[in-house]
Structure formats: C-alpha cells, structure tokens
Amino acid sequence: MKRTTTQQDLWEAPADMLHFETEWLAKGYSRIAGLDEAGRGPLAGPVVAAAVILPPGERYPGITDSKKLKPADRDKGYDLILEHALAFAVSEVSCEEIDELNILVASRKAMERAVRGLSLEPGFLLIDGIVPLESDIPQKCIKKGDQRSQSVAAASILAKVTRDRLLEAYHQQYPQYNFKKNKGYGTREHLEALKAHGVCPIHRRSFRGVKELLAPEMQSPPTDLYSQDRTP
C-alpha cells in the first residue's frame, strides 16, 4: 500500500535543499555555514565534524545526506565541495577526549572547532541535530538537517569521507579489526576481533562492547550524557 504524504513528512524533508539557506539569506544573513558530524556510534576512532560555506543560491546535484550515498559518489561530492566551497574546515575529537567528555559533548566540541577553523567568519550556522553550539554566531538546529539543507549535507560528506579515510589508515596499523570495512562500528566481525585480540589504542573505552573487556582499573569512569561543560 502506497504511503500517503503527511504534513509531518513535509516538515521533516522539504523538497528544496536550499530552503533554510534561502530563508536566512532573505533575513539579511550572509556566509551561511552548514555543520554536521560523523562517527558518534562507532566503538573506535575519533568523531569528525565539518563546517562548509557554499556560494549563496548555487545548487549542487548529488550533495545530500552522506549516509545515502555510495562511497564513490561521496568521493565525487567531496571533491566538488572542495572545489566550490567559499570556505570549509574539518575537525576531530579523539577517542581519549570522547571517553573523558562523553560522545554528545565531544560531537558538539568537534563542530565548535570546525566553526573556528573556517577561513571566513560565518554569519549564520545551520546545524544538524537538536543541540545548539556554544557560539555567539546566530544559529538554527535542524532535525535530519543533512537531508534538508545542502550546506549541512555538504558538511556531512566532508566529515564522513574524512573519517572513513582515517579509519582506512588505522586499518594499516591494526588490520586484525578490519577497520577498512567496518569503520569502527560494532559489527559482529569487529566484536569477535575485540574478544580475540583485545582493545587497541583507538578504541573508545567508555563504550559498551569495549569497556567490558577491560580490567576494572583501566575502565573509563561513567560520564554524564547531559554534562553542561561546554568548554571548547
């Protein structure tokens, strides 16, 4: 049975990927930056965030939610963004910082670092998700923003491709975990490798699936997922 489109569907995913950019440009803002992160869920590796300022009003077919793209299409989008973006920056927060802060705070920290890394100061921020950044720059959080904003989608591609390439490089150091394939996510193969080989330096020691394999004295203390510490 064909699903009927509801008003909620329309709110969740406007057809125009420049909807939010156009709205805030019309209100007088310029240099609108999209922000997104990659790598909140994996058991290993950093969380990576990107910030991208694209030329206003320009449309780039194929720039959409990175999770919906094949690797080859993500690579094409990555090159396209680097060629056309007015400014972009990529930042990462290490597994050690993730264990210290918790993944929610670490993801926000990565985005804040990416904003500070832009060569042009943005006039407005479009942020994937529902958690605002600690910044004086005006901003809007967008649920499923990588599916609804071209700027956020561009940031999602930069973050995803950068992180995937990092994990492929880590695969050369730790081939027993097959990071090249699983990108640090808790696949069955990865979990079996953890049990067989133990934990390596890029594993997140506070994450379920990893912390159970550590001696008590090596386990990271539990962190408050809703910590108010926003120090970048």
**Tens digits of residue pLDDT in 143-184:** 999 999 999 999 999 999 999 999 999 999 999 999 999 999
DSSP state of 147: G
Supply the pTM of this predicted model.
0.86
> Residue 142's pLDDT is what?
97
199 token code pair: 């934990």
* d(C-alpha 171, C-alpha 165), whole Å: 10
Give domain 18-218's CATH superfamily.
Ribonuclease H-like superfamily/Ribonuclease H (3.30.420.10)
* d(C-alpha 91, C-alpha 88), whole Å: 10
| DSSP-derived secondary structure for 53-91 | EPPTT---TT-S-GGGS-HHHHHHHHHHHHHH-SEEEEE
Strands 47-53 and 139-142 turn out to be unpaired
152 token code pair: 């956020």
Mean of the pLDDT values across residues 41-55?
98
Determine if residue 202 is left, alpha or beta; phi over 0 gives left, psi from -120 to 50 gives alpha, anything else beta.
Answer: alpha
Which neighbouring-strand residues pair with 128? 142
**Tens digits of residue pLDDT in 52-74:** 999 999 999 899 999 999 999 99
Q: Which residue has the higher pLDDT, 79 or 1?
A: 79
> Residue 131's pLDDT is what?
93
Mean of the pLDDT values across residues 79-104?
98
* d(C-alpha 93, C-alpha 111), whole Å: 9
> Residue 60's pLDDT is what?
95
Mean of the pLDDT values across residues 14-25?
89
Q: Which residue has the higher pLDDT, 219 or 231?
A: 219
Confidence of residue 232 (pLDDT cuts 50, 70, 90): very low
